[in-house]
Amino acid sequence: MAHIEAVVFDLDGVLVDSEHVWDEARKKLAAERGGRWHDRASWDMMGMSSLEWSRYMHDEIGLREPPEEISAEVVRRLEEIYRRELPLVEGAREAVERLAARWPLALASSSNRELIDLVLELSGLARHFSVTVSSEEVARGKPAPDVYLEAGRRLGVPPERCAAIEDSENGIRSAKAAGMRVLAIPNPQYPPEDDALALADEVLRSIAELTPERVAS
């Protein structure tokens, strides 16, 4: 296992079953505030940083509020949902513990910083992650490699010696562009296109299959 020195997890869709929660919160906000939701909106915003998707909600969906207000309101709604019942993926806690026993872990997420910290606090997983990075802390969101490159930099591990755990098309493309070994756990609600899935080094059916052996094989 010498060639892998660290593991970087995505959050939404990998550790928390939250893609549909984001989708519903943004769609409901658009309906309440006179926006023009369309079928591509969910796909377009997946993987975007908070700065990017809130600007999309303003420019493309037609919300009149400034992007920073849009972002803050969606985050407030998700915080309420998470505090009521955190949608932790079954087997996620055990998978994190298995890998944390072997390697230092990082988190590279498109979620806002407040939500990353809240999820790790509520789940009890914060102690396993030595580094967490939000896409709002780098120049570009996924599929650009910025958030994964920053996670590797903060870990002090070259990207080619990191393994990334992803579920979405933009996430897979982001981690691969960073030069990491990519293990994909395809999101069944928003499955990656075949060409994106083909970039992954390993494709798992569920997080229950995420073992040190699969990471390092």
Residues that are catalytic: 10, 12
Residue with tokens 């990491």: 180
Alpha helices in 9-102 (DSSP H): 19-32, 41-45, 50-59, 67-84, 92-100
The angle, 0 to 180 degrees and rounded to 10, between the axes of the packed helices 50-59 and 19-32 is 30
Under 8 Å between Cβ of 144 and 133:
no
Amino acid identity of residue 16, one-letter, is V
Nearest Cα neighbor of 118 from 78, 148, 150, 151 is: 78
